[in-house]
Amino acid sequence: MGILALGTHFIIELRDCEDSLLLNDTEEARKVLIEAAQKSGATVLFPGVYFHQFSPHGITGIVPLAESHLTIHTWPEYCYAAVDIFVCGGKVKPNLAARYIIDKFGSRDPKINEIERGLNLGPHKPEQGGGDLPGCEVVSGTKGPPPFIERWAKFPVLAGAGQNAGFFMGSR
């Protein structure tokens, strides 16, 4: 039993970026994310690449991939960017894309959370309250969900080098 890994999701915090001008430059940020995707071995779906400039500052952008996507949202006034890298399949190396993006934006305090996305191959027991979330471990007890959440699922997460943690997702 265990997890059938279908993809890897990096959630990246680019804090204390050296180049706040890059954080506000749609063309350069677009170039960095496309290059990062290519360096990782991903296939960029060019007609779908889209970046938007906010006023007075900040950008958002998506680079769709045959294997999933890279996204960015920036706050130049805080020297900060939030980046997602989600890839499926075994040939793409998201760590190469992450390192490239961190280096290009000059983040002096980056943080990466890696989530293994996939299916729990353990037995599904609807009587545990999993509802339509097959294979999810349902968490209950005093440390369970807030009262407004009816279903609470715990998914495996790699929190950092050698650390494991839980990622909780609730729905009504």
Mark whether 81 and 25 lie in a shared domain: yes
Mark whether 19 and 50 lie in a shared domain: yes
Could you say which of 68, 69, 79, 107 is catalytic? 68
pLDDT tens figures, 72-91: 999 999 999 999 999 998 89
Q: SS3 for 30? A: helix
| Residue range of the domain that includes 106 | 3-117
Could you say which of 9, 17, 69, 88 is catalytic? 88
Whole-number Å distance between alpha carbons of 84 and 103: 16
CATH number where 64 lies: 3.60.90.10
Kindly report the number of other CB atoms within 10 A of residue 76's CB atom.
20
Mark whether 103 and 33 lie in a shared domain: yes
Q: How many domains does the chain have?
A: 2
Q: Do residues 64 and 45 touch, judged by C-beta distance below 8 A?
A: yes
Q: How does strand 50-53 pair with strand 137-138? A: unpaired
Mark whether 52 and 112 lie in a shared domain: yes
Is 73 marked active-site?
yes
pLDDT at 165: 41
Write down how long the chain is: 172
Mark whether 62 and 17 lie in a shared domain: yes
This prediction has a pTM of 0.71
Stretches where the chain sits below pLDDT 70 are 1, 123-172
pLDDT tens figures, 30-49: 999 999 999 999 999 999 99
Mark whether 130 and 86 lie in a shared domain: no
Mark whether 130 and 50 lie in a shared domain: no
Kindly report the number of other CB atoms within 10 A of residue 92's CB atom.
23
Is 79 marked active-site?
no
